[in-house]
Amino acid sequence: MFVLELTYTTPLERVDAILDQHVEWLRKEYAAGHFLAAGRKAPRDGGVILAAGMDRATVERIVSEDPFTLAGVCEYRITEFVATTTAPALEEYREQLPS
């Protein structure tokens, strides 16, 4: 599982100018089963995406296709973790620690 943390690197006006494209990209990745949750940080200086079901190379490719990345309005921090405990609704994403 991955936590994708976006930090805006430009004024919000530039971010908002391509927000619709970013939301469409999010929808595509939800439909592909890659994303579990996403939203703005508070205060609004970026966002967070929870992703699962793929390897790091795939996550890096997907992040590189984000319109925010392509427009240079944010930087991503990708954190991979092993989800050994989850809420019941996320049980299918529960993982075992490697031996």
The pTM of the full predicted model, rounded to 2 decimals, is 0.93
Tell me the per-residue pLDDT of 43-92, one tens digit each, with 9 for 90 and over: 999 999 999 999 999 999 999 999 999 999 999 999 999 999 999 988 98
> What count of other Cβ atoms lies within 10 Å of the Cβ of residue 51?
22
How far apart CA 71 and CA 68 sit, in angstroms, is 5
What residue spans of 1-99 are helical by DSSP H? 12-17, 19-31, 56-64, 67-71
Longest Cα–Cα distance of the chain, Å, equals 48
